[in-house]
């Protein structure tokens, strides 16, 4: 009997699905949302999707937002993550429906909080965000979007209007079976503290950031 229980526990620990655990109303300053809580059995992460209105199945306005404690919670100007999250929630509310998937485990493009802070320290010494990750022996981008695709699938979403400047995010969703009918720019005005970071994202990570041309004189 004990052996049988052990086998069942082993099988449970090897689950690779994403389980919907809870749905609850979540009023926000941007509007009324429903928070869908998920558990990723493969990675052990708790995930959440914020849904506004009745998104339907096709052409759903969607943001996949990578967790960023420094930007989302502390208002860091090193990146544009906090303003992007706010803008995405606002756009979904204005549109009347949509989904924002908040992806935990994506801190620092997947390297984790402490490693991200170490990379930021190297950037303060003159390295760019790509060079800093590599100097630490870490991947430039370790994020995986399979969990996001499975969450969207659970919500009944088959195709999205993806709010992102990152073509690799679009490619990842398509690989995981979610069609992208349109890529919607999510452009945040740069500041002196993040202009170098944003230029690196455009020049080395292929992000579509045409608005930087208008501020080419900043810190140049």
Q: Which position has the token pair 């992000």? A: 207
Q: Are 67 and 105 in contact (CB under 8 A)?
A: yes
Would you place residue 91 in the very low, low, confident or very high pLDDT band (cuts 50, 70, 90)?
A: very high
Strands (E), the chain: 18-28, 31-40, 45-52, 60-66, 98-103, 159-163, 179-184
Mean pLDDT of the chain: 91
The single residue of 143, 150, 170, 199 carrying the catalytic annotation is: 143
Q: What is the mean pLDDT of residues 113-118?
A: 97
- pTM to 2 decimals? 0.88
Kindly list the distances between the CA atom of residue 103 and the CA atoms of 12, 50, 68, 85, in Å, as whole numbers in the listed order: 23, 11, 9, 12
Radius of gyration of the chain (CA): 19
pLDDT of the residue at 41 = 95
CB atoms within 10 A of CB 203: 13
Q: Is 156 left (phi over 0), alpha (psi -120 to 50) or beta?
A: left
pLDDT of the residue at 1 = 47
Residue 25, phi then psi, degrees to nearest 5: -60, 140
Share of the chain above pLDDT 90, in %: 80
Greater pLDDT, 152 or 215: 152
Pairing of strands 45-52, 60-66: unpaired
Has 175 been annotated as catalytic?
Answer: no
Kindly list the distances between the CA atom of residue 61 and the CA atoms of 36, 93, 179, 207, 208, in Å, as whole numbers in the listed order: 17, 10, 12, 19, 18
Greater pLDDT, 216 or 127: 127
The single residue of 72, 118, 141, 150 carrying the catalytic annotation is: 141
The mean-pLDDT minimum among 44-58, 137-151, 189-203 falls in: 189-203
CA 104 to chain centre: 8
Burial of 51: CB neighbours in 10 Å, binned 0-12, 13-18, 19+: buried
Has 141 been annotated as catalytic?
Answer: yes
Kindly list the distances between the CA atom of residue 17 and the CA atoms of 89, 158, 173, in Å, as whole numbers in the listed order: 27, 18, 17
């Amino acid at each position: 009997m004990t052996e049988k229980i052990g086998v069942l526990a082993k099988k449970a620990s090897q689950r690779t699905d994403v389980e919907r655990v809870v749905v609850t109303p979540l009023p926000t300053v941007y509007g009324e949302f429903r928070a869908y809580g998920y558990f990723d059995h493969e990675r052990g992460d708790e995930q959440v999707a914020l849904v506004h209105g009745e998104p339907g199945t096709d052409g759903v306005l969607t943001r996949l937002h990578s967790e960023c404690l420094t930007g989302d919670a502390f208002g860091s100007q090193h990146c544009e993550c906090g303003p992007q999250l706010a803008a995405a929630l606002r756009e979904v509310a204005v549109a009347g429906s949509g989904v924002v998937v908040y992806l935990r485990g994506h801190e620092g493009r997947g390297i984790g909080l402490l490693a991200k802070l170490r990379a930021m320290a190297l950037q303060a010494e003159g390295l760019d965000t790509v060079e800093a990750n590599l100097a630490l022996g870490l991947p430039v981008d370790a994020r995986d979007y399979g969990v996001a695709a499975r969450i969207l699938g659970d919500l009944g979403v088959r195709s999205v209007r993806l709010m992102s400047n990152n073509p690799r995010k679009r490619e990842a969703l398509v690989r995981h079976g979610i069609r992208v009918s349109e890529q919607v720019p999510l452009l945040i005005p740069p500041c002196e503290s993040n202009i170098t970071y944003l230029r690196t994202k455009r020049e080395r990570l292929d992000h579509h950031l045409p608005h930087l041309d208008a501020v080419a004189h900043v810190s140049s």
